[in-house]
Structure 1
């Protein structure tokens, strides 16, 4: 899969720029990268996001346990690779049908947290269990969310093209030809969000993710490492809950119900306001007729 975004969407990571500067190497423009991907991955699906970016994927050379999928809904586009072990339980929590696949679930989970409560992306990502990597773009807000599972079971790389676009792909050789040394593995257990301050670890978002220069002979120019900090008491408790599926399921179900309750409250307030405005207009009409 391939996702390319312009500087309007993604702030170019300084670490990748520095990696390319240390060892200059040939690069190509983003348009050439997309053309090369489509030419080598036929048949392929390609989606142009105006001047903001480009998404493409193909089932060619797809690993059996890492299927690729794509979905779009309400101006939210998502490329997903891998499988979720808890897909059934999460589908039930979010009120989705049994036939829902991983990419649709990610879109619906993102929408729920975006629309109904100010919960961070790390909350949604902490619910996912399995082998996965995905790229989600919300065109309505120009928001980008990219994530990899905690163990990095699905390879994902990112780099910078010659014209300053940021590209994501599961194929390192594809990116190498267009990004040169401005290339790095996307760190496992992390997410990138242009709306939430860039690259973070979703298991412990307060810990900083830093870039380490790679050796000259390596394909990538840098790797990203998580600075290990001290876990808080709440974090330790949360990790215990993850190992106890029954209690964790109850906790997550309660959170989803709470979000729905908040949405219902908001809807009721809107209805009351409309009724109040309608009542006031009716009274004014009656008084006007009497006089």
Structure 2
């Protein structure tokens, strides 16, 4: 999974930064994507209006940790893993039986966003399982990442 956004959306956490290599020129978004695609030629890429993108590779995907990417109402989500309580979440949020884990995460975040400004932990407290996701709301320009 790879996402590249402008600094306007968010800054890189210090923990994810690489030590200085002495190179003065950072790679462009396009160069980063080319490197990713060379390693994962069958990846799915979604381009956002500002030139940012989200990419997902299915190489070595395990049945126990499936990967999916969805876009619903200008909300982009990459989801890896499984939710153990999908049936309960579908019923609670009024979603169809065919709603995937990624679709559930998008709908949960949209409902919480539209009802009131809830803290981020409200979004994931009811999600049970082994998962990680990246969610980008194109309407508000917000980025949210979480894992189990």
TM-score for both structures, normalised by structure 2: 0.88
Q: 1:25 to 1:104 in 2, by over 3 A?
A: farther
Deviations 1:46-96 (A, max 9, x none): 111133511111222212211110110111000000000011111110011
Q: Structure 1 segments of 4 or more deviating over 6 A?
A: none
The separation in 2 between residues aligned to 1:49 and 1:43, in whole angstroms, is: 19
Say whether 1:118 aligns with 2:133. no
The separation in 1 between residues aligned to 2:139 and 2:92, in whole angstroms, is: 25
Give the conservation status (yes or no) of the 8 Å contact 1:8–1:52. no
Question: Which range is displaced more, 51-60 or 129-138?
Answer: 51-60
Deviation of 1:136 (Å): 0.4
The separation in 2 between residues aligned to 1:82 and 1:51, in whole angstroms, is: 28
State the match for 1:3 in structure 2: 3
Deviation of 1:14 (Å): 4.5
Deviation of 1:16 (Å): 4.8
Give the conservation status (yes or no) of the 8 Å contact 2:29–2:52. no
Deviations 1:97-127 (A, max 9, x none): 1121100000000000000122222112011
Larger Rg: 1
State the match for 2:97 in structure 1: 98
The separation in 2 between residues aligned to 1:105 and 1:79, in whole angstroms, is: 12
Deviation of 1:6 (Å): 1.3
State the match for 1:76 in structure 2: 75
The separation in 2 between residues aligned to 1:40 and 1:50, in whole angstroms, is: 25
RMSD over aligned CA atoms reads: 1.9
SS at match of 2:110: helix
Q: Unaligned regions of 5+ residues in structure 2, if any?
A: none
The separation in 1 between residues aligned to 2:127 and 2:56, in whole angstroms, is: 22
Say whether 1:51 aligns with 2:46. no
State the match for 1:13 in structure 2: 13
Deviation of 1:15 (Å): 5.2
Deviation of 1:25 (Å): 6.2
Give the conservation status (yes or no) of the 8 Å contact 2:90–2:104. yes
Deviation of 1:36 (Å): 1.6
Give the conservation status (yes or no) of the 8 Å contact 2:108–2:123. yes
State the match for 1:207 in structure 2: none
TM-score for both structures, normalised by structure 1: 0.47
The separation in 2 between residues aligned to 1:102 and 1:13, in whole angstroms, is: 26
State the match for 1:32 in structure 2: 31
Q: 1:25 to 1:63 in 2, by over 3 A?
A: farther
How many equivalent pairs are there?
Answer: 146
The separation in 1 between residues aligned to 2:13 and 2:56, in whole angstroms, is: 24
